[in-house]
A and B are shown apart, each in its own frame.
Chain A
């Protein structure tokens, strides 16, 4: 009888890979890993991009391949699927906690689109975003577009600290 190679399960290897832009989160926490399938040594990982233009997808694929190859798997294929579209609702509770601990305000509930034309809101969003440092609800948006596609820039008017907020989509 041949003993099984001493290597962690592919799913466990994938679970440890972190997001290239927000390394406090694993890809699992972010909710972009859709499936991990093994066939002997071969592994197929299916991920979904956060935004169409997310430049980190190529890095995610490379990191997944590197981690699985280092763990003794191969060939490794990373597939991306677009549907269903990623939503910030897929970020795990653990992921939300880690975001807040890293000073990044986690997203609230994603908007549920009603059928028909998408209404245009000219006023700022009514949702309250608490400062991840002091907890104050008195924060204001500086820019809708932060350093990564998925974040916005805000400032706390109590402790005066700027911070990033993960946009609800």
Chain B
């Protein structure tokens, strides 16, 4: 094939791509770009529920998933084996899917015209409502990554399984899907923890070190905010403190099978009584957002 023919082929390939996409079906350079209507997003506010509280709660649950998904996705092209890369990517995608719906709901309930992309790409650290565990980096240490995934999915599954009957139809719908997905994610993390913990001396040491690294962030998972308290009273939210016994029992089950020791680490403190849920974050979140938002901020509204 002559160089000229190759060039022509390449041009054709791009042409056919843009033809497939069609004029009324633009592909965004970032963000979802989905124009399809999510039927439930626009469901009316349940009676007696404060719109600002519900928007805030959807941001909490959505930001946890979004930020954790971004952290997990750092393993794509860096995982120890292809199967694990696919597993982590799928896990991140499921969390991202949950985040998209929750952020869309937050934007709709807020009523200020912000969609999921505006909320994901155009908020600064102090406007994020995720727990610190989600933003905790792992420096591509697989032991830390699995420890974070184990604790995060165990806690989130406990939350979501209690949100199946939430009076907000979007929160309930996300929970119904999330319970199925998180059951897989938790199993995956737990089996790795057992394989590594009950493996060689070196894998045991690394898995234990991973647990030690994420343990200071566990306590925050069970702290109840005022928003949650008010939403528990109207049947929308669950009190995260209620998940502690279940999370403890599951982690104990895994630690015993993995011959690992429950870390004895002081919890990370609050700053003036405020933590991740109030927008006070560790330095790590800035790095996550810098990576995640740079393209969207450099090229607002870009499509291809």
Check A79 against B39 for contact (C-beta < 8 Å): yes
Asked whether A83 lies within 8 Å of B176 as measured between CB atoms, the reply is yes
- Contact indicator A52/B177 (Cβ below 8 Å): yes
Main secondary structure of the interface of B (DSSP, over half): helix
**What is the CB-to-nearest-CB distance from A79 to chain B, in angstroms, rounded to a whole number?**
5
B25 at the interface (CB under 8 A from A): yes
B233 CB-CB contact with A under 8 Å? no
Q: Once the chains are docked, how many angstroms separate the CA of A111 from the CA of B90?
A: 21
B226 within 8 A of A: no
A83 touches B86 (CB 8 A): no
Interface size on B, residues (CB 8 A): 53
Q: Is the CB of B161 within 8 A of A85?
A: no
Contacts of A3 in B (CB 8 A): none
Total of A-B residue pairs, C-beta within 8 Å: 129
Asked if A122 is at the interface (CB within 8 A of a chain B CB), the reply is yes
A55 to B254, CA, bound (A): 32
**Of A57, A80, A142, A169, which one neighbours B83 at CB under 8 angstroms?**
A142
Taking a contact as CB atoms under 8 Å apart, the answer to whether B191 and A122 are in contact is yes
Instruction: Type the 1/0 row for A69-86, where 1 means its CB is closer than 8 Å to any CB of B.
Output: 000000001111111111
Q: Which residues from A are CB-within-8-Å of B83?
A: 142-143, 145, 153
With A51-B177, A61-B36 known to touch, is A149 a contact of B254 (CB < 8 Å)? no
Interface of A toward B, CB cutoff 8 Å = 46, 49, 51-55, 57-58, 61-62, 65-66, 77-86, 113, 117-118, 120-122, 142-147, 149, 153, 167, 169
Given contacts A118-B179, A120-B190, 5 further A-B contacts (CB under 8 A): A49-B97, A53-B181, A57-B34, A77-B36, A83-B172
Give 17 A-B contacts (CB < 8 Å), ordered by A residue: A51-B97, A53-B98, A54-B93, A54-B97, A57-B36, A65-B25, A79-B37, A79-B39, A80-B36, A80-B38, A81-B39, A82-B39, A83-B40, A120-B187, A122-B187, A122-B190, A145-B188
